[in-house]
Structure 1
């Protein structure tokens, strides 16, 4: 009976933690949805410095629980028609697709545009696939590859890495380092599970 009480208490505490992460970070679910689109599209965490600062100020166990909740939130949101619609709009804006304008068409310009469109189509599809699931798989794989190489014992000189090779790493690697080992391990577990579902 005692173990059941502890289990129920643990679940209650976890539920309290989970339901408060948006409040803890002062982020609305609508803002979080916009950040999910921009983050997957851009290939990096898209949020304000203030949110990151608040996240870093949380105790480690809340950071880990919050990381898991936010990834699960992103996963569930990515399954909605709203996500696909907003992703398609975001993608079209990034690729420069615009609504047709009225007016007299210039035949030479139309030919040039048609050729450019065909040449760029494969590159566009690779960078920003029309199917959001493909982009999500791509981003999850990128995260898993980069995060697997992070040396969480790396030394800093002020805000710069003592090792020049680490200082030369990209922003994602550095973001993983600054997030901390426990947060990244939790994010990796969630990302691996999500990727497995998508494949």
Structure 2
């Protein structure tokens, strides 16, 4: 299975909340109407339509879009932990619901690899080979009638004789080439069967039967990606972009950099929430 989604993060706080937004698989979030969540969306600069469309489009395109960390930077320092916790609480509540479960199972099923088509029978391979050879002979005979160049006629006649011999051998079941084609059909199918078995095993590992298994994977990915972030790393401005003074940090993953931009306050809160949630899921 060639396609293993390498999920990125939806917002900076999504260093953790990816577990809900990424897994909703295009299902529009049924946002609560309580003042608590309305305040969260307002402070993050999100709207129901914008967030929902981003979730849907990110899955259709195979990666997650995310919003600028400036949304969190604009929130007063003392409020960032609270906003993060509220957003994570909503995330947890949503992914434990029936809507998310149904969406995940449908998405999982859509990612399942397809079984290989059964190989053609020897009789079918032989019939096609004979039909194709007859067609080639007919075309060569037509071409020969229109060709005047002696050298070209000679070359075409040699090809014509070869095809006629191939046809005769095939009709008498004496064609080595046809036997190779039949064996190739069998061996090709065996290879596809093995590939399918490997893809199926990878699919079952990537998309567990239980949504909780998938949630656990996303939580662990978040924790791995945000471990050891140097929040005191210095930046230098070059042109209209900022770069790490420590060049080694430029090779860090985009998720590590997003956690850095979100800041220790937000990321630490998200990590603690993720760790506690993981313990509940074990």
Same fold per superposition (TM over 0.5): yes
Partner of 2:42: 23
Contact 1:33 1:77 survives alignment (8 Å) = no
Contact 1:91 1:128 survives alignment (8 Å) = yes
1 or 2, which has the higher helix percentage?
A: 1
Give the direction of change, closer, same or farther, for the CA distance of 1:27–1:53 in structure 2 (3 Å limit). farther
Give the direction of change, closer, same or farther, for the CA distance of 1:161–1:91 in structure 2 (3 Å limit). farther
Q: 1:97 Cα shift?
A: 5.6
Of 215, 223, 226, the match for 1:147: 226
Larger mean Cα displacement after TM superposition, 80-89 or 114-123: 114-123
5+ residue gaps in structure 1?
1-14, 99-104
Q: Secondary structure at the match of 1:107?
A: coil
Of 88, 93, 105, the match for 1:88: 105
Correspondence 1:179 to 2:262: yes
Of 78, 88, 108, the match for 2:119: 108
Q: 1:111 Cα shift?
A: 7.4
User: Which string of whole-angstrom CA distances, capped at 9 and with x for unpartnered residues, describes residues 32-72 of structure 1?
Assistant: 69849x69xx7x8x44436x543332222333222111111
Give the direction of change, closer, same or farther, for the CA distance of 1:89–1:97 in structure 2 (3 Å limit). farther
Correspondence 1:70 to 2:93: no
Q: Which has the higher contact order (CA 8 A, sep 6+)?
A: 2
For normalisation by structure 1, the TM-score amounts to 0.70
Correspondence 1:195 to 2:267: no
Contact 1:64 1:186 survives alignment (8 Å) = yes
Quote the RMSD (CA, aligned, Å). 3.4
User: Which string of whole-angstrom CA distances, capped at 9 and with x for unpartnered residues, describes residues 49-106 of structure 1?
Assistant: 36x543332222333222111111111111112111111223344x2668xxxxxx96
Rounded to whole Å, the distance in 1 between the matches of 2:203 and 2:214 is: 12
Q: Secondary structure at the match of 1:49?
A: coil
Give the direction of change, closer, same or farther, for the CA distance of 1:169–1:106 in structure 2 (3 Å limit). closer
Contact 1:18 1:65 survives alignment (8 Å) = no
Give the direction of change, closer, same or farther, for the CA distance of 1:48–1:185 in structure 2 (3 Å limit). closer
Count of matched residue positions in the alignment of Structure 1 and Structure 2: 173
Rounded to whole Å, the distance in 2 between the matches of 1:154 and 1:114 is: 50
Partner of 1:168: 251
Contact 1:33 1:74 survives alignment (8 Å) = no
Q: Secondary structure at the match of 1:160?
A: strand
Correspondence 1:131 to 2:148: no
